[in-house]
Amino acid sequence: MIRRAWSRWVDALSARESATSLALFRIAMGIGVLLTVGSVVAHRLVPVLWLQPEDGGMRPLGAGPWLVALLGGPSPEVVWPLVAGALVGGALLAAGIGGRWASVLALVCTSNVVNINGHAGGSYDELLTNGLWLTVLGPGHRTLSVTARVRTGSWWPTVQVLAFPRWLALWQLVLMYCATGLQKLSFYWVPGGDASALYYILQQPTWQRVDMRFAAWLYPLTQAGTLVTWFWEVLSPLWLLAIVWSAWPEHAGRCGRISNRIGLRWWFFGIGIVLHILIFVTMEVGPFTYLSLAYYVAAIHPWEWDALRDERALVRATA
């Protein structure tokens, strides 16, 4: 039994697939770095958030993360080069130049600058840096990249890579949603309560993108949104199962066949898109919406992305 389990584990880790989904995830993470770090630069907040009070910072920062501390602490001479390194790494990653070294540069510099000030970030920083780790694991630069264009003459060549980094991205996404849902155990969230959590969140000035007093007239809709959000998050592991079943329908079993027939994974996908769009329109949550949706490209199998490419090529050939 142990030998069989080990054999299956090895087979799972050595499985290969087209690199398209991983390449799109790489591009999305590169853009995520540019948005996350670039927005701080664009708003001239680097000194305020990431430097000591004597250099214009908002609060004492201590020694900082490991590399910042190793270089002498969050001083302008340390922070600005790391900010530049993050932006360069993000640009190289999005363009697909530099391979895994671009991922390492973006990861090391970004993870250090966003963790300098614990009062000036959010869980989306971990979502970004965890995604950057996955771009180090998976060679997503082999297609949809400048590297691919130089090596093969095509922007979108068909290249096989290990599949497990993409599945780890999906695991990260579902883990985030499910853990978030399981932590919402107050009377205001769970079924049987008054489902008022979303309404009260929308009334908090720290979260509001616009004045949301009009939501009082839509209170029943906010209650429905609260319950849908809670159920969707808690049940999100079913999304991962639905994606697995769609990848290997011959091993899906009865539940998997039902899931594939009703398109369960697309229901989860669509609800997630709608929820994040509504969050973006009504709440100020930094780059959370973009970084969450960036993981969604991994929820579409690479052969499905490749089918779109082939269909476009056929249309051009027959035009």
Task: Specify whether the CB–CB gap between 149 and 34 falls below 8 A.
Answer: no
DSSP string, the chain: -HHHHHHHHHHHHH-EEESHHHHHHHHHHHHHHHHHHHHHHHTT-HHHHHS-GGGT-SS--TT-SHHHHHTTSS-HHHHHHHHHHHHHHHHHHHHT-SHHHHHHHHHHHHHHHHTS-TTS--HHHHHHHHHHHHHHHS-GGGSSSHHHHHHHS-SS---EEESHHHHHHHHHHHHHHHHHHHT--STTTSTTS---HHHHHHT-TTTBSS--GGGGGGHHHHHHHHHHHHHHHHTTHHHHHHHHHHH-GGG-HHHHHHHHHHTHHHHHHHHHHHHHHHHHHHB--TTHHHHHHHGGGGGS-HHHHHHHHHHHHHHHHH-
Report if residue 41 sits inside a domain: yes
Tell me what the mean pLDDT of segment 307-313 comes to. 83
Lowest-pLDDT choice from 68-77, 159-168, 189-198, 207-216: 207-216
Report if residue 4 sits inside a domain: no
Please tell me whether residues 21 and 158 are part of one structural domain.
yes
Please tell me whether residues 62 and 101 are part of one structural domain.
yes
Report if residue 6 sits inside a domain: no
At 259-307, the pLDDT tens digits run: 999 999 999 999 999 999 999 999 999 999 999 999 999 999 999 999 9
At 222-257, the pLDDT tens digits run: 999 999 999 999 999 999 999 999 999 998 899 999
Tell me what the mean pLDDT of segment 124-136 comes to. 96
Please tell me whether residues 179 and 307 are part of one structural domain.
yes
Predicted confidence at residue 318, as pLDDT, reads 72
Please tell me whether residues 171 and 136 are part of one structural domain.
no
Please tell me whether residues 91 and 173 are part of one structural domain.
no
Three-state SS across 251-270?
HCHHHHHHHHHHCHHHHHHH
Report if residue 10 sits inside a domain: no
Please tell me whether residues 93 and 188 are part of one structural domain.
no
Lowest-pLDDT choice from 99-103, 118-122, 146-150: 118-122
Please tell me whether residues 144 and 195 are part of one structural domain.
no
Report if residue 9 sits inside a domain: no
Please tell me whether residues 113 and 203 are part of one structural domain.
no
Predicted confidence at residue 4, as pLDDT, reads 78
Predicted confidence at residue 2, as pLDDT, reads 80
Predicted confidence at residue 221, as pLDDT, reads 94
Please tell me whether residues 288 and 180 are part of one structural domain.
yes
Instruction: Name the burial class of residue 226, with classes exposed (0-12), middle (13-18) and buried (19+) by CB atoms within 10 angstroms of its CB.
Output: buried
For residue 299, what are the contacts with CB-CB under 8 A and spacing of at least 6? 170, 173, 239, 243, 265, 269
Task: Single out the residue in 125, 143, 162 at which a domain terminates.
Answer: 162
Report if residue 172 sits inside a domain: yes
Task: Single out the residue in 105, 132, 162 at which a domain terminates.
Answer: 162
Residue 105: is its pLDDT beyond 90? yes
Please tell me whether residues 116 and 187 are part of one structural domain.
no
Provide Rg for the chain, Cα atoms: 22
Nearest to 104 by CA among 71, 145, 142, 136: 136
Residue range of the domain that includes 107: 16-162
Average pLDDT over the chain, rounded to an integer: 94
Please tell me whether residues 212 and 115 are part of one structural domain.
no
Report if residue 3 sits inside a domain: no
Lowest-pLDDT choice from 26-30, 96-100, 283-287: 283-287
150 pairs with which residues across the strands? none
Residue 129: is its pLDDT beyond 80? yes
Q: Give the amino acid at 230.
A: W
Instruction: Name the burial class of residue 30, with classes exposed (0-12), middle (13-18) and buried (19+) by CB atoms within 10 angstroms of its CB.
Output: buried
Please tell me whether residues 158 and 284 are part of one structural domain.
no
At 40-63, the pLDDT tens digits run: 999 999 999 999 999 999 999 999
- More confidently predicted of 12 and 151: 151
Distance of CA 160 to the CA centre of its chain: 23
Task: Single out the residue in 162, 177, 195 at which a domain terminates.
Answer: 162
The domain tally of the chain equals 2
18 pairs with which residues across the strands? 160
Predicted confidence at residue 310, as pLDDT, reads 85
Report if residue 290 sits inside a domain: yes
Share of the chain above pLDDT 90, in %: 85
Distance from C-alpha of 40 to C-alpha of 33, rounded to nearest angstrom: 11
Count the alpha carbons within 13 Å of 255 in the hemisphere toward its beta carbon. 7
Residue 181: is its pLDDT beyond 80? yes
Inter-CA distances, 318 with 156, 299, 314, Å: 20, 31, 6
Residue 319: is its pLDDT beyond 70? no
Task: Specify whether the CB–CB gap between 77 and 31 falls below 8 A.
Answer: no
Per the structure block, which two tokens stand in for 46?
């680097």
Residue 314: is its pLDDT beyond 70? no
pTM of the model: 0.94
